[in-house]
Each structure stands twice: as structure tokens, then as C-alpha cells.
């Protein structure tokens, strides 16, 4: 296991301690969330931990099911007790960029339904200002040229996300992702408001005022950040 994975594993282990029997739990996406789902799944499989879950991606749900984690729906369970997820950048105030794995829409839905939204990450994800990591913006395919122009007017350089085989990356909901570089954000709230108002934008990777705790794994131990 390389050093970064070891740190991610430590953050995932700390987050596991937050899960109590009977909880409704949100499962995030990405490599750090995957480590956490595996730990949680082991507890369900070997210790009979009773929980029910909603996942933020098809991959995370398939992984959870492989351990026997029972799944629920928002019709049955409109509020989750706890969601644990990764992040691409964590700035002061627990302002986040997410969506590096392309799952930002469902991740935001799951986070929005959670009483506690806990981020697990290694220290490399901490930044003073959001935006070095290109901001993922999920767009309706037909609207992409229109949205790309508006993003360029805001100073971004948007690039359609491409798979390794050269095809366009399509999200679980059938949309494109524009990875938007070039803007270090002094006022992410103002940018989020502009993105929220763009017709054709389904969702964006700015998660502001949503996280309640970040468990940041540094070589010297876990730092717990509440803002």
C-alpha cells in the first residue's frame, strides 16, 4: 500500500467509528470512499452490523451489495443519519470541490439528505482557495456548447471529460461533465450562484455549507476539521 493510500485508509477507519447500529448511511464515491465502504461492508458481513444505505453511484452500490449491505430508497428513508465521502479539494469553511470521479450529482443529492456529511481525505486535498483542481460541471448534452460559452465568460476553460478510449464520459444520469480550470475562487458562493442559474447545468462540484466534519489524514495523525 503506498503512503497516500495508507493515509486514506486511516481516514476511512476513523469514519467507521461514527457508524452506529440502526443508522441510515450514505455511501460516497471515489477511492477513499471505497476504502470506507469496504470497512463498513466487513462489519456488516462479519459482525452483523445493522444499517441500511443509499449509494451515490452505481459502483458504490454494487460494492456495498457485494458485502451484503442492505439498501433503501429516499421514498422509504428521506433522511440519512450519516454520509461519508471523499473530496478533491477542501478549503476553509469546509468548502469543497467534488466530482473528480464524475459522481457529483448523486453525491450532492445524498449529501443534501444527510444530517452529518463527513469528508474523508488525505492532507493533499487541503487548499486555501478552491479551483486548482478543475471544477466538474455536469451538463445536459444538448446544452453543452451554450454552457461552455457562459463558463468561458466567467473566466473558466471548460473541457469535455473524455474516457481513456477517446469517447465522451457519460454520467450515471446520461449527462456530460465539463472540467473547468483557470479560476482560483475568492468567492465560491458567487460562482455557485451563477452556475445554479445556468440553464442546462444539471449540477456542479462546489459543495458549500454541506460538510459537517472533515477527517484529514496527515502523516502525524488524523486532523478533525469542523470548519
Binding interface with ligand 5RP (CB under 6 A): 28-33, 85-88, 98-104, 107
- What gap in Å lies between CA 128 and CA 174, rounded to an integer? 33
| Shortest Å distance, C-beta 117 to ligand 5RP | 12
- What gap in Å lies between CA 1 and CA 146, rounded to an integer? 44
- What gap in Å lies between CA 162 and CA 57, rounded to an integer? 19
Considering the candidates 50, 58, 89, 107, report the single residue annotated as catalytic: 107
- How buried is 219 (Cβ within 10 angstroms: 0-12 exposed, 13-18 middle, 19+ buried)? exposed
Q: Which is nearer to ligand 5RP, 97 or 151 (CB)?
A: 97
Q: Which is nearer to ligand 5RP, 32 or 114 (CB)?
A: 32
107 is known as an active-site residue: yes
Beta strand extents in 130-225 (DSSP E only): 135-139, 157-160, 176-181, 201-204, 206-207, 213-218, 221-225
Q: Which is nearer to ligand 5RP, 101 or 131 (CB)?
A: 101
- What gap in Å lies between CA 27 and CA 124, rounded to an integer? 22
Q: Which is nearer to ligand 5RP, 64 or 101 (CB)?
A: 101
User: Pick from 26, 21, 88: which is nearest to 57 by CA?
Assistant: 26
Q: Which is nearer to ligand 5RP, 31 or 141 (CB)?
A: 31
Grid coordinates of 79? 433522511
| Shortest Å distance, C-beta 76 to ligand 5RP | 25
| Shortest Å distance, C-beta 98 to ligand 5RP | 4
| Shortest Å distance, C-beta 104 to ligand 5RP | 5
The strand order across the sheet containing 135-139 reads 157-160, 176-181, 135-139, 201-204
| Shortest Å distance, C-beta 85 to ligand 5RP | 5
User: Pick from 58, 71, 106, 107: which is nearest to 87 by CA?
Assistant: 107
Q: Which residues are catalytic?
A: 107
Amino acid at each position: 500500500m503506498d503512503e497516500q493510500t495508507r493515509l486514506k485508509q486511516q481516514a476511512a477507519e476513523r469514519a467507521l467509528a461514527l457508524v452506529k447500529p440502526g443508522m441510515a448511511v450514505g455511501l460516497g464515491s471515489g477511492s477513499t470512499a471505497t476504502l470506507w465502504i469496504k470497512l463498513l461492508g466487513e462489519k456488516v458481513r462479519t459482525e452483523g452490523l445493522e444499517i441500511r444505505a443509499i449509494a451515490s453511484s452505481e459502483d458504490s452500490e454494487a460494492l456495498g451489495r457485494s458485502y451484503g449491505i442492505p439498501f433503501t430508497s429516499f421514498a422509504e428513508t428521506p433522511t440519512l443519519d450519516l454520509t461519508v465521502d471523499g473530496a478533491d479539494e477542501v478549503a476553509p469553511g469546509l468548502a469543497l470541490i467534488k466530482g473528480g470521479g464524475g459522481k457529483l450529482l448523486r453525491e450532492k443529492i445524498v449529501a443534501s439528505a444527510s444530517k452529518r456529511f463527513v469528508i474523508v481525505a488525505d492532507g493533499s486535498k487541503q487548499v486555501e482557495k478552491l479551483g486548482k483542481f478543475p471544477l466538474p460541471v455536469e451538463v445536459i448534452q444538448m446544452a453543452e456548447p451554450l454552457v461552455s460559452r457562459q463558463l468561458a465568460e466567467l473566466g473558466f476553460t471548460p473541457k469535455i471529460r473524455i474516457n481513456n478510449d477517446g469517447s465522451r464520459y457519460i454520467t450515471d444520469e446520461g449527462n456530460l461533465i465539463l472540467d473547468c480550470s483557470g479560476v482560483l475562487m475568492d468567492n465560491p458562493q458567487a460562482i455557485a450562484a451563477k452556475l445554479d442559474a445556468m440553464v442546462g447545468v444539471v449540477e456542479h462540484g462546489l459543495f458549500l455549507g454541506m460538510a459537517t466534519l472533515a477527517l484529514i489524514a496527515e502523516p502525524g495523525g488524523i486532523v478533525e476539521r469542523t470548519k
